[in-house]
Structure 1
């Protein structure tokens, strides 16, 4: 026996070392239990001794023991055992392969659940699983995680059995916490050993099917978050004394007891499948990194909030970090703009409501710095989040700018961790919030974001079609609970309730859990039941108790049973909303705050109010109604005069106490509107009406500043209803028209502007009349009514220009009108007039520092210069404008200028650069979420033409399919799309689908028949496309007429892309008609029109000259021109036209008997046509090659 301290060998049987005097003892190297010489296994933990027990000498260790101790330690761990009940009988009745498959699925599911809660599977034995927490690293909530996993596993097996057609299949589990020997060098079987493991197994064996039992140590460590029931004493195998065990019933709080409710919480009953769906969606979102929306709809009291709470507790217990956000929509009027979203940002930043702006801004900046690492991203996102929270003075009428930044923030969160957004009470949501959620799902589809919305069925009135047909959406309607589930819920709350009364309550409840809960609360209020050791028992006579017919009546009866001062305080609180502070309630009730707080404590004890305890919530420390339905009933019990007084008090309090009044403008407006409508005949009604109208205007401006045009429109329209003098009403109509235009509500825009115009005209306000006339002209321009727009804007500009004085507001309208007129003149062919007015717009925009209007005017001028063939000047101007737009953060203008620059580069034959620019513009759209104006669609449709020319036809097909599937329907009424989509006509014709080409032309004809006017360039494109179809049909004379009409109609304007297409079709038609004189005339026109020419057109001219020389019999010139055309087209990378030139050259050579040469060129052409899928051209090539082959064979 070797001494561990000094290493001296001692004779067997020695008790002390002969050299150093240290005690010599044998011990298990795993658990440290005493052992005897010759033992092969530890008598305590069963560990195997590979040689003999380790020798310990005092505090010394042998080298072998030290090596062992580096991997074996005593650790505080939690061990779970679970096995299946009913699996043996199931196995006997099924095929062995089916049994193996079932068992494999069970093991896989068990491993997933255990690992989600941070546990490690130690081993599977038969149908049992053993898992351990605390290895290799311990967490302070290991025991809680183990119990949560056990409860989850038992529930999962129950569902698994139902799915597998084995409803009797259940699991039972046991969990025990304590010390065990842990082998740190082992993963899996053999990790832990000791008595703890054996005892945990025995606890599992004692558990009833479908239950989880734990030992006392585990209960003590977890009871803050887990509800337990005493399972009694059990005699466990191998234990001398009975052990008290506890049944884990459910999770009642967040991790380590956080967020534990202070109110009566009934058992969670009848919603297991729905909760399981939420869990599956959560993990699928995490694994697939794809955004999802789960819309949960149900009547009041059916359990929407409860299922969300159970889900939150589940998420809180997972090992995976999940960024949880919760926001509630306020039930004020049309809803407070983005309130729920702002609550989520506050929750993430740790900002409490009404926190000092400087402190809130500091917290927001720290949060942005934490999740956004790029300085450019932080500069863009932070002010827009601050605007959402009312911490930023900037405003915008463009929701896309704000939506993009808010979306980007949540996307960045989702790159760090799975992100969950829970929106409560969506039936009260503002229109902008619905828009943002839909936008988030559309543009963040590849982010791990799970959105959950809770709403009553009347959400369909607020947002028709909500929850239907959206990407990544699942709609879940909560039906009333089944009678069995309701009975289980009621029995779980009041186990001693007489059967007759229980049946009466269940009958009246009609499956609505809240009815049963409120009944129990009423019984508590009246002292008829009492809490005894965590359960409720009957204390009085229930025989005479009348159960109200409806839930509303039940709540009213409960409120009536309260003492008068408590009931009055509940009614006062109801006016403030679902959540409130004691200070606000004291202001509304006109009672001392100390008295209010004393009453609140009593009402919390009666489960009417709860204190927000979630440390992440911006409402933490506030009081809230346990049920919003109680608030509705309480408020409805107020008389009209009482309601008026309390709403006025609430408005006064909010106005005086809120640091940023604009943030709560909608709330103040709603209180004042409610006060007026409560007593419109009162002496002070006129004053309240005026205050309410002014507050509605402020609410509208706040919504507009946040980019919620639809919401702002509703507030302005409501303000108009509250009346005023003619001038102020006309101004409100103007404002309503402005915000309606930002969300493309064209009819509403026109209606409000026309109403304002009529009022200004009646009042004789010439300047205001001109201003609105200009705005109506812009509406006409947007809808493609160019002549009407031109007339209206010209009239307005004439009046505005004659107005004396230095008026900044007038100049702002004049800039907008001048640019609109320039665009109208451009589209109707007057480029000189367009240039004059765009210069005027530029001068005024520079003078007034109107950057957005300056950028629009620069863009317009670049079009005009290009139309005047000042190409290089135009490109330089566009590049500079694009840089200015990027530098100043004007996203919309960045995209628009980028798309137009792409078109200009294509006109200059820089096709690759054009594609790159349009891709950059589209990427900017995707980042900015440019949905309303569809600039992303413009950007990718702009690529159709260069892709077609470069032979990337499959890319064209993908873009066209994308447009047809996703964007065609919503783009029908917008101008210029028709011009871009006409490119597909040539793709269809070249691939032999004449009917599809005709269909595209037919769709455009129908659009024109509906009253839409085409711009000059769109009309040229339409003529060229129609000529292409006519050529394919063989009607070459009509094709020539259509093409000539197209390119000769533009006057001094030049639209090279469209005109080149028209010229090509005209030349092809003239050749088909054998009209060489017309061909010569067309070539002369092309040289003059496109002076100094373009490389692609020069190549076509060489090709056409080769054909002319072929017809004239000039062999040398024919060959020279064709070879020049082929070489030029190869250098330009135009594969289709290269193949066409090769085929035409081959045909000319064939007619001269130069068969071998002809065949060489035809083979090259055919290979290209096959690669492109140009079936008509393949047929034409093969018809040429057949005679050539026959002639070669004859030789």
Structure 2
């Protein structure tokens, strides 16, 4: 030892003190812990020598261990070896700046050698105070001392430590005297904030202790506000110290370098403090304490499931409250019982990745590993399914598609529309679960459901109603803010976890720490944990890790969760950087992936990750090369991720994306949004956009339109970061066309976002020479005008579309143009032109070629054309052909298995039967449409079909209920921004008011619909509105209505709407007869028989038998 310490002292030029160090058993290990007072005790009287020793000792203290930089090229074999290096990082830092007051005056009064001695004594006092309270002296700046609290080692109470050190420093300096005439005086400023600290490189060289950020400058400005002998703190520091110190508010001050006034406080003394914090921490498995009642609830539900009485339980609570711990306890409690455990983990990175938790579990359950060829994967998948499903040949292709495993060679092409495949996949998943339940009871766990993707939600929604008689217990965990959508089933219940009481908290601390902590320390931990189990465990672990609890852990108990987790990261050594790379990857990361990203051999990565497992930071699943690691808590991942500099984060995200593309192509094929996410965070928008587009298109093809919109909008956000270029416009157009199709499906044709999207697409297409692009943009914009009831504006756009389509001689474009022209004519009441154009469009339709247009415009063109033709035929007086067209539209939509087209056909079918006054049929189609629209989240059609359902209920004998249901449907419809069928809806509402005995309200509804407030050009039902207006006048004894009936007949005749003309003529005949003019009534009826087709008459006179009998006529 003497040689070691002697060599060190000789190198420092202080060899004369070797004997003193050896006699007092001071070795190299103790050197970093020596203080100025210790050196005095060793007999080192000269201030200069003590100062030299303190500076030399400071250099011995470890530089901040921010983890290794991984050298991709190691020794001659290319093996990577972790190298310890200082790396700049982000962290919260409390900075103390202490200044010697009057140093300029001292320099004038004192000899330079005496001044040197005074400055050394001053610096010794300040450095001693900083070191004593766990701080780090960063720099001596003339008469100033800059110190950090929170770097290189984080402390939970670092703000308090800084204030203690500041007070001790100014007191200690005040005790120093300059000769016999004057005492020294110091003042200090303290500030807290986020900084970048570590190895910074400039023109003058490297500075491993430099700090970038406003915090050091703020601390220096605050000390200028302090009176001699006082300490002033900033607002962030004041909040952190709470009531630990008494402080006088100095108000706001304009400080140089700060735009806004800075509030400051002068520390006036110490007081007791009872700090609180709200955060979460990683949880290790400890003995379950304080959850006996909750555990009993879970076991009761499990027992019900064993008895074939399926149960579902929602377990909710704040982060860190113990949801996952309770789940683990349940798993342990039932592990000896014969059962299957199905566990699914939702992820915030994959909230828009269809079936992500299911895919992850299937891959693990089947044992799929990197390097398996397609046959190996299929063999493993078949083996998995063989034990749980009856029809392996039918199920395997669906699951193979879900896992992106090509299976055509073995099973043939899976020739299914995306939505049909999605439905069959969900059904297969449900069937597999229920089949397993017939073998053994199932414990089905879905964690972190607040991050669930819509497709997995659809699976759960399908499964929940079917477990009532099955041996299945579904346990779902979520945070309180999650709006649980599956409530309402008799076999569903919920359980919210509350915080623990003081006795339970003390038991948790004792369980984690064993007998090592005193009652006093346990009590302090309990005070700060505030009943959250995760806080209790992490606070206790930090105390033990810091000093083993032997000193009571004073000052080492983290004051905030962020500081506690930072402290744990600081102790990881070389594993810290790998933990941060894992944090970039996500909550979970496989060994193979993190090793590739870190450029480490598998054995080296495994060794480092084993250290992370041992530290309790991560959990390992699986073994050897196939191991996957998961952060014990999302908050550990967050802190590790946030500690990285943005530049470093970007580098790791970029590296990760490249590794995924190069080494994990199957993952990219399954979830291109993952690569897009990492390229986005790597600040590589040009590369991110491509994969956001691919992800959006893939989701749209699967009818996962909510996810598609999220992906495509993320792509547009990335695109905004690119400079103007033709290629940028090309990519934006592609994104907007894909977005338009999914937006109109997810939010409704007339939603404002749809209009904005297509208007921008039009701008982009006009700037180029691609006519097809302009056509698509104008067609989308025409849809927006159309759904807003601006049919004339729509028609002007459609005229352009027709010209463009004919000039291009493009069948698909012509089909769309004629379809649009037909629908415009239909809603403008030109039924002949409508039928002509729709028939032209329908004649061009070739299913194989043209169904793809549904993914561009949202709806299959033939479904629209046939549905529109059904309407036109009915108005024109051909009810039989109307029915044929309607049936054909429904059959085609069902066969295509395109949910949006089917909902369209069902909704228009409901309206056709409403025209025909067939309420029973209206109900059938409306309720089917509502079911589809609700399942797939089509608010436009949910509103439309709800309107139809309300009318049917009212006509069938319950007008009050019908009015309420209709109005709710209309609210939903208008909520999408649509206005198109407003007058039509008000006409139906008016009729129901009449049935309810409220004709005046019905008249008001019609006046509102067709008055000055009507901004639409829609008039297909105006003749019927006039007729109903007349009927309401008759009902209210306000007139005979003949004028309205005559106007209705004239308008219908001009439109070619023979069905409406006939209906108005019948009303006119009834009115004439009521007026006592039987001759006029007979004239109306005879004219009807002479001019109208017998089938139409039979349809429309079904309810006029009384009228005909009164006129001495019979119904033909």
TM-score over 0.5 for the pair: yes
Picking from 659, 667, 672, the partner of 1:665 is: 672
Counterpart contact for 2:417–2:897, Cα < 8 Å: no
Q: 1:402 to 1:1054 in 2, by over 3 A?
A: farther
Q: 1:969 to 1:579 in 2, by over 3 A?
A: same
Q: 1:356 to 1:774 in 2, by over 3 A?
A: same
**Aligned: 1:703 with 2:699:** yes
Q: Secondary structure at the match of 2:289?
A: coil
| Aligned residue in 1 for 2:318 | 298
Picking from 869, 876, 890, the partner of 1:861 is: 869
Select the structure with the greater relative contact order (CA < 8 A; seq sep ≥ 6): 2
| Aligned residue in 1 for 2:720 | 721
Picking from 549, 560, 566, the partner of 1:550 is: 560
- State the shift of 1:596 in Å: 1.1
Counterpart contact for 1:404–1:928, Cα < 8 Å: no
Counterpart contact for 1:700–1:715, Cα < 8 Å: no
> Matched residues in 1 for 2:1043 and 2:469: separation?
53
- State the shift of 1:654 in Å: 1.0
Counterpart contact for 1:396–1:705, Cα < 8 Å: no
- State the shift of 1:638 in Å: 2.2
Counterpart contact for 1:414–1:447, Cα < 8 Å: no
Q: Secondary structure at the match of 2:314?
A: strand
Counterpart contact for 1:827–1:1017, Cα < 8 Å: yes
CA RMSD between the two structures: 4.8
Counterpart contact for 1:1027–1:1043, Cα < 8 Å: yes
| Aligned residue in 2 for 1:642 | 648
Counterpart contact for 1:289–1:447, Cα < 8 Å: yes
> Matched residues in 1 for 2:1047 and 2:313: separation?
53
Write the mapping of 1:839-918 to structure 2, written as runs, cut at 5 A.
839-846=839-846, 849-851=849-851, 852-894=860-902, 896-897=904-905, 914=921, 918=925
- State the shift of 1:777 in Å: 0.6
Counterpart contact for 2:565–2:636, Cα < 8 Å: yes
**Aligned: 1:498 with 2:512:** no
Write the mapping of 1:529-540 to structure 2, written as runs, cut at 5 A.
540=550
Counterpart contact for 2:903–2:941, Cα < 8 Å: yes
Normalised by the size of structure 1, how large is the TM-score?
0.58
Write the mapping of 1:138-157 to structure 2, written as runs, cut at 5 A.
none
| Aligned residue in 1 for 2:828 | 828
**Aligned: 1:743 with 2:746:** yes
**Aligned: 1:633 with 2:642:** no
> Matched residues in 1 for 2:337 and 2:1062: separation?
64
- State the shift of 1:568 in Å: 2.2
Q: Secondary structure at the match of 1:802?
A: helix
Counterpart contact for 2:397–2:414, Cα < 8 Å: no
> Matched residues in 1 for 2:343 and 2:816: separation?
42
Write the mapping of 1:350-749 to structure 2, written as runs, cut at 5 A.
360=377, 388-391=402-405, 404-405=423-424, 407-409=426-428, 411-412=430-431, 417=437, 422-426=445-449, 428-429=451-452, 432=454, 436=458, 454-456=477-479, 466-467=483-484, 478-496=497-515, 497-522=517-542, 525=545, 528=548, 540-542=550-552, 546-562=556-572, 564-612=573-621, 621-660=627-666, 661-676=668-683, 688-706=684-702, 707=704, 708-723=707-722, 725-726=725-726, 727-728=729-730, 729-744=732-747, 746-749=751-754
- State the shift of 1:907 in Å: 7.4
Q: Secondary structure at the match of 2:285?
A: coil
- State the shift of 1:772 in Å: 0.9
> Matched residues in 2 for 1:443 and 1:1077: separation?
64
Q: Secondary structure at the match of 1:820?
A: helix
| Aligned residue in 2 for 1:953 | 957
Q: Secondary structure at the match of 2:1052?
A: coil
> Matched residues in 1 for 2:863 and 2:507: separation?
67
Q: 1:715 to 1:263 in 2, by over 3 A?
A: closer
- State the shift of 1:483 in Å: 2.6
**Aligned: 1:339 with 2:346:** no
| Aligned residue in 2 for 1:817 | 817
> Matched residues in 1 for 2:332 and 2:462: separation?
25
Normalised by the size of structure 2, how large is the TM-score?
0.62
> Matched residues in 1 for 2:545 and 2:988: separation?
75
> Matched residues in 1 for 2:613 and 2:315: separation?
31
Counterpart contact for 2:1002–2:1032, Cα < 8 Å: no
- State the shift of 1:854 in Å: 3.0
> Matched residues in 1 for 2:713 and 2:539: separation?
40
- State the shift of 1:718 in Å: 1.9
- State the shift of 1:1061 in Å: 5.2
* Alignment deviations for residues 806-840 of structure 1 (CA, whole Å, 9 cap, x no partner): xxxx6444433331221111121223332333244
- State the shift of 1:363 in Å: 6.2
Please say which of residues 492-501 and 713-722 is displaced more in the overlay.
Answer: 713-722
Counterpart contact for 2:588–2:629, Cα < 8 Å: yes
| Aligned residue in 1 for 2:344 | 326
Where structure 2 has 5 or more consecutive residues not aligned to the other structure, the ranges are 1-281, 408-412, 852-859
Q: 1:738 to 1:436 in 2, by over 3 A?
A: same
| Aligned residue in 2 for 1:1136 | none
> Matched residues in 2 for 1:791 and 1:775: separation?
14
* Alignment deviations for residues 987-1042 of structure 1 (CA, whole Å, 9 cap, x no partner): 6645xx323883696399369876563744433443343333322211233x3333
> Matched residues in 2 for 1:867 and 1:350: separation?
62
Q: 1:328 to 1:933 in 2, by over 3 A?
A: closer
Q: 1:902 to 1:265 in 2, by over 3 A?
A: closer
Write the mapping of 1:1178-1193 to structure 2, written as runs, cut at 5 A.
none
> Matched residues in 2 for 1:314 and 1:665: separation?
40
Counterpart contact for 2:295–2:326, Cα < 8 Å: yes
> Matched residues in 1 for 2:1018 and 2:296: separation?
56
Counterpart contact for 1:611–1:623, Cα < 8 Å: yes
| Aligned residue in 1 for 2:1107 | 1104
* Alignment deviations for residues 338-395 of structure 1 (CA, whole Å, 9 cap, x no partner): 42354356577776789655555566678788878799xx97x877765554458999
> Matched residues in 1 for 2:464 and 2:753: separation?
26
* Alignment deviations for residues 509-554 of structure 1 (CA, whole Å, 9 cap, x no partner): 23332222223444565682xxxxxxxxx7x554556111112211
> Matched residues in 1 for 2:442 and 2:967: separation?
32
> Matched residues in 2 for 1:446 and 1:1048: separation?
60
Counterpart contact for 1:1001–1:1026, Cα < 8 Å: no
Q: 1:268 to 1:396 in 2, by over 3 A?
A: farther
Q: 1:373 to 1:795 in 2, by over 3 A?
A: farther
Q: Secondary structure at the match of 1:642?
A: helix
Q: Secondary structure at the match of 1:1074?
A: coil
> Matched residues in 2 for 1:549 and 1:397: separation?
58
- State the shift of 1:754 in Å: 0.8
- State the shift of 1:475 in Å: 7.2
**Aligned: 1:309 with 2:328:** yes
